[in-house]
Amino acid sequence: MALFPYLDCRHHFYLPVGDGHQLYVEESGNPAGLPVVVLHGGPGGGSSPQQRRFFDPQQFRIILLDQRGAGQSRPLAGIRYNTTAHLVADLEKVREYLGIERWLLFGGSWGVTLALAYAAAHAERVLGMVLRGVFLCRQQDMDWLYTSQGAARLFPREWQAVNAPVAALSGSLLDRYAAAMAGERARYFARAWCNWEAVLAGMSPLPDGQGGDDELCMAVQEVHYFRHGGFLEMPLLEACAGSVLPVEIVHGDRDFVCPLDQADALHQVLPNSVLSRVPGGAHSASHPAIANALVAAVKRLHRRIVE
């Protein structure tokens, strides 16, 4: 199922949300269409123009934003006053500023975490959700990513590579990278950090060296959030259990960032959810099978809501 044509955004702006943070926000598609907000991964992943291509621009009012400290939002890689509660409150400020009564949530990976946290706090503002590569941010999910007993067993050489730059430091991998990235060589460590996730996502790692702004945002914010359990007030499965919002879940069976059991667990507690397991699908939304499944899921959710 083909992605929709690439269109430029209609307009973009910066929205001050307090605490010295300004969010980058852009709109595209039909101003009178069904509003949908895209929640990027990471934390710190930033939005991408390609994320517009999952939506028919004639049917949807498409809102992309960069969460605090990510992408084009200011300050770059800022982690002060940056928690899940802040991100949820920011979404409400964006919704109110745009004059939207209710909207769809479209999130992938960490974007699923944020979508579920927002829906738990503001269910009355949500029309439905499309969730890709479910990340529940439980301790077991972070252990899979950042301890020797998880994905490291599938990718031992790459696990050694992410550990090597911080081998002289003490503590967990998260603790060691937090200390390393507080220094002058933060971008070097950010590249090593992001290369580990790239391998798990089925992407090619970059050569050793200085990471760019996107890598810095991702590494700094992931370490910040995951050292604090995602700043979640209660487990997401517990917070969302029994919600009757219409939900489409898309998850690849070759997703090594977020194993499929997370999508299964979420599907079990959401009685109005549909789980699409994508054979051969990896973690990234750019994986062809995942991209096609997402377009189909958006179309199904549109029919469930409008018809």
CATH code, domain with 297:
3.40.50.1820
211 and 166 in a single domain? The answer is: yes
CA angle 71, 73, 78 (to 5 degrees): 90
Is residue 6 in a domain? no
* Residue where a domain terminates, one of 198, 229, 260: 229
Q: Are residues 121 and 67 in the same domain?
A: yes
Burial 2-24 (b: 16+ CB within 10 A, else e): ebbeeeeeeeeeebebeeebbbb
120 and 21 share one domain: yes
Q: Which of 47, 73, 109, 243 is the catalytic position?
A: 109
Q: pTM surpassing 0.95?
A: yes
Q: Say whether both 207 and 133 belong to one domain.
A: no
**Judgement on whether residues 29 and 120 belong to the same structural domain of the protein:** yes
Burial track 184-203 (b if 16+ CB lie within 10 A, e otherwise): eebbbbbbbbbbbbbbbbbb
Where among 229, 256, 291 does a domain terminate? Answer: 229
Alpha helices in the chain (DSSP H): 84-98, 110-121, 139-146, 156-163, 173-180, 186-200, 213-226, 236-240, 261-269, 288-306
Question: Cβ contacts of residue 140 below 8 Å, gap of 6+?
Answer: none
Quick check: is 3 in a domain? no
Indicate whether 291 belongs to any domain. Answer: yes
Active-site residue among 21, 283, 287, 302?
283
Q: Do 180 and 75 sit in the same domain of this protein? A: no
Tell me the C-alpha distance between 301 and 44, whole Å. 27
- Same domain as 130, residue 23: yes
Report residue 228: phi and psi, to 5°: -115, 25
**Residues 178, 212: one domain?**
yes
pLDDT of residue 129: 98
**Active-site residue flag, 208:** no
Shared domain check, 237 and 221: no
Domain limits at 20? 11-137+232-306
Contact yes or no for 297/277 (Cβ under 8 A): no
Q: Are residues 121 and 247 in the same domain?
A: yes
| CA pair distance 88, 230, nearest whole angstrom | 13
Which of 183, 200, 229 lies at the terminal end of a domain, its last residue? 229
Domain contains 62: yes
d(CA 22, CA 70): 10
Q: What is the pLDDT of residue 1?
A: 64
Residue at 57 is within a domain: yes
Q: Are 174 and 166 in contact (CB under 8 A)?
A: no
Looking at residue 10, its pLDDT comes to 84
Residues 211 and 242 in one domain: no
Is 255 among the catalytic positions?
yes
Low-confidence stretches of the chain (pLDDT beneath 50) = none
User: Is 264 in the active site?
Assistant: no
Tally of domains within the chain: 2
Distant-in-sequence, close-in-space partners of 234: CB < 8 Å, separation ≥ 6: none
